[in-house]
Structure 1
Amino acid sequence: MFRKGLKDVVAVQTAIASVEGDTGELRYRGKLVDGAIENRSFEETAYFLWNGEFPAKSQYAELKAEFTKYRKLPGYIEGIAQELPKDMLLMDAMRTLISAYATKEFSALPVIKQAAAITAALPVITAMLYRIQTGQQIIAPADHLSHTANYLWMLTGKEPAPAQTEALETYLKLTMEHGMNASTFAARVTVSTESDMVAAVTSALGTMKGPLHGGAPSGVIDLLNEIRTANNLDRVILTKLDNGEKIMGFGHRIYRTEDPRSILLRQKCLELQGHDDWLDLAVDAEKRIVHLLNERKPGRALYTNVEFYAAAIMRSIEMPPELFTPTFSIARIVGWTAHIMEQQSDNVIFRPQSEYVKN
């Protein structure tokens, strides 16, 4: 049976994650995502997706030590970065540097260590490339900072406020994995040929670059910038509705109820109320926008998607738009590497058929 774009075709059985659009449930390894990430760090959540269980104390200490070790990039990686054209898109430059990890020495590592190494390295690579492209001095990683805090430190040279780190880390944990999306499928197809993890992640990064998949929440940023204060909410939203404009950050192609990631990001913003003006604005704006949408579009059940609160978090930490998709990739690399290892464990090459049609 022909399905354009393989829509609704089941090509993989996986134990990593499930996405239930009708009930609004996202599960990591069978656990609802809120239970999987609650009181867990980025590293612990990554370990869970890779191994199917949370790390014991000694395993967690070992993993954190590995993440710290692999923040220090090989010298040749920085050398390549310095030679790349300054007008390359960040996603293209990131893909180039990750592909350069395909050395005999790296390929000889156990695949779980390869996963940890490139997951730890990707935010360092991203921050380094961003600062090179913007004419700023590269900032060395800070061993005393967490994975997320170190990323923000290397971007700005300032230790981030705890509220900013907490909000961004919640976003990263919630977007690590989301089923058989385009970039994950690309990674699995590549490694199904018995290629390697580096090649598969390179394929995934190339796929994530496309705006139909890794599109940044810039439209929501524009909306929040336009609203700016709660006093402007009704005027801005009603004008857009009168003009037939789409309210960015509302509605999702898969979820028919609230996006569970949006719910959890909202909760995090509520916990952090009073610590950041942009997070406060997002919470106030969502309540009012949902009310106005229900008034104007009764029965449509338009809920916030993950991009709405992601945009608020990005705005609160003053992250420039060119870093949105790279930051999404810094999270999703955990899911990619988990799927790569799962594919390797029971591999069959992907070989769908095509149907010839006359022009």
Structure 2
Amino acid sequence: MSVPMWVWGAAVVALLGLILIDLILVNRRPHAISVGEAAKWVVFYVGTAIAFGVGVWIFGGPEQAAAFATGYITEYSLSVDNLFIFMIIMSSFAVPAIHQHRVLLIGIMMALVMRGVFIAVGAQAVQQFSWIFWLFGGILIYTAWKFAFSKQESEEYDPNGGLVRLVRKLFPVTDDYHGPRLTVRHEGRRMLTPMFIVIVAIGGADLVFAVDSIPAIFGITQDAFLVFAANAFALMGLRQLYFLLGGLVEKLVYLSYGLAVILGFIGVKLVLHALHENELPFINGGEHVTWVPEINNWVSLGVIVSVLGVTTLLSILKSRRDERSGEITPAPADPEAADTPAR
């Protein structure tokens, strides 16, 4: 889909407008986000994504609309798994509930910039080098295997990883939070606050997440505009989803297996596309392999929605079965429980 520069400009302005609305309406008075407030924002951001998809359908056609919808759902589902890591970071650094939204907002803005750079580089790569599809396909198939058979990322993730340790080594950090401030003057010198460290941890985590998500979205569409839009809408709705789901995300016990199937499916799709675009001399004499099937976006959309639906349903059924058998304690019904600061 050929996208004029003015459409790119309008999309970026609209994205900045959404961030500004968020800053004005939510951050003007720091507070703990309730489940009800989070639900309204999730509906708002999903609604804007649907409206954008309708616009793509009208101006770009149904195939492009299917590509956007598939990419958005894939990125959003991968983001749900990332919430485990965000919860670990918030808990490890005991971020006060009233400041968690600000931390996530700044982290998401950093992620948008980083992913924008990755998408620009990736878009040029897939246009210039057909072998990049082999690389992306291999990354996704390996990631799918990790999701299905290896220790979960949330179990291996260290919130005080290399980047955080480097920042602590280079700069002095206060022991306590000073509201939302990132730096303060203490005992005559400028020091970072734990808030700054948390944001570094969030940004570093998303840098790792991009290794999975960027190849996945390019496996669905190579249109840089749709790739960026799908990532932007998924990231913008991630913060509110964090507060809406809270501890309930831990009940999606089969999500990792569903994501493994999705990533594996997209990886295979990329390999088939790589065969169609093949220029490697040791495969089919450097000629395109035209007899293998290509998977269109409507099939991809159907597979991804079906897998997510089945894994979510199975997770809910297992959670209810475990609650009845007394293996787990039900999540608190009181919305105020979600507002309690992490300790």
TM-score by length of 2: 0.37
Higher relative contact order, chain-length normalized (CA < 8 Å, sep 6+): 2
TM-score by length of 1: 0.36
